[in-house]
Amino acid sequence: MKRKENALKKTAFLFPGQGSQSVGMGLDFYQEYDVVRELFDMAEEISKINISKLSFKGPIEDLTQTVNLQPAVTAVNLACLAAIEKEGVRPDICAGHSLGEYSALNASGVASREDTFKLVFKRGELMHREAMRNKGAMHAIVGLSIDDVSEIVDEVKKEGVVAIANHNALQQIVITGSPDPVEKASSLAAARGAKAITLKVSGAWHSELIKGAYDEFKNFIESIPFNTPQFPLVFNVTADFEKEPDEIKSIMARQLCSPVKWYDAMCKLMEEHVEIFAEIGPGKVLAGLLKKILPKDYPCRIFNVNSLRSLEQFLKEIA
């Protein structure tokens, strides 16, 4: 496939994570492409979970359990990617939000599809185990800067575990930790004029409450072969690029309990003059964040590729 006027425009593939799921996701790709059916079969063989049934029919309560969700969202991300790759379109840069970073590893050639599923299934199992051991909560704070939220978190820390989980947009920050300190931090944020939204999650992701999974997950990552990226990746933990496979393993292990610097990562893509942003996978969460992050006068186009129709539109627009 030839790319004409957009051939010189840098394209970033962005992969969503938890929170983007919906019943029915990926079904049209599954019906259309052999490679997608093979992907789902592989994910089911590795996880021993009926991922196609959960993704296409639900129920949403079962789909949202992190041990099911992580391989399911990854399967849909990689299904959308496989359909794009079949058309000969490749990214210049990749990034993924939290769980989505594993799809980005695959898209950039760091990890094979099979190993990507092994990683996310293991990650989901360990995170679920730690969430059962340590009750956690996550709230989105909207309307305060990262410095303001950091100040509040530091103030509340003495009362228990609370931390910043995601810096999603300039003034959209997710906090994580034990329920009471998270609640207190939210109240303090609300007193400063912010809006606090309780997120439907089963654990305190990106906090020390799941630190019990770190060593085991780090050892598991060590057993998986990583390659040098074919396309650059911007990582959550550093909001920067990394080429060395061993250092990438270290970053991905740290990602479990470290904040997701999504806002900084998207600013990095602007520095790289990315003009075409394609969210590859279910939902429109990352496209929505981009619209909050990118300046109004920044020259770019934002696409979602999560259905055959949106794929067709994307291919037509960038041709």
CB 170 within 8 A of CB 210: no
List the helix and strand counts (H, then E) for the chain: 14, 8
Distant-in-sequence contacts of 37-44, Cβ < 8 A, 24+ apart: 39/75, 39/78, 39/79, 39/82, 39/113, 40/75, 40/79, 42/113, 42/114, 42/117, 43/71, 43/72, 43/74, 43/75, 43/117, 43/121
Number of C-beta neighbours around residue 88 at 10 A:
10
- Catalytic site positions: 98, 206
CB 121 within 8 A of CB 73: no
Maximum CA extent, the chain:
58
In 48-174, alpha helices (H): 51-57, 60-63, 66-86, 100-107, 113-133, 146-156
Q: How far apart are CA 301 and CA 205, in angstroms?
A: 31
- How far out from the chain centre does Cα 111 lie? 16
Backbone φ, ψ for residue 289 (5° rounding): -65, -40
CB 54 within 8 A of CB 4: no
- End-to-end C-alpha distance for the chain, whole angstroms: 8
Helix (H, G, I), strand (E, B) or coil at 195: strand
In this structure, is the dihedral angle defined by the CA atoms of residues 101, 104, 110 and 114, taken in order, positive or negative?
Answer: positive
CB 178 within 8 A of CB 156: no
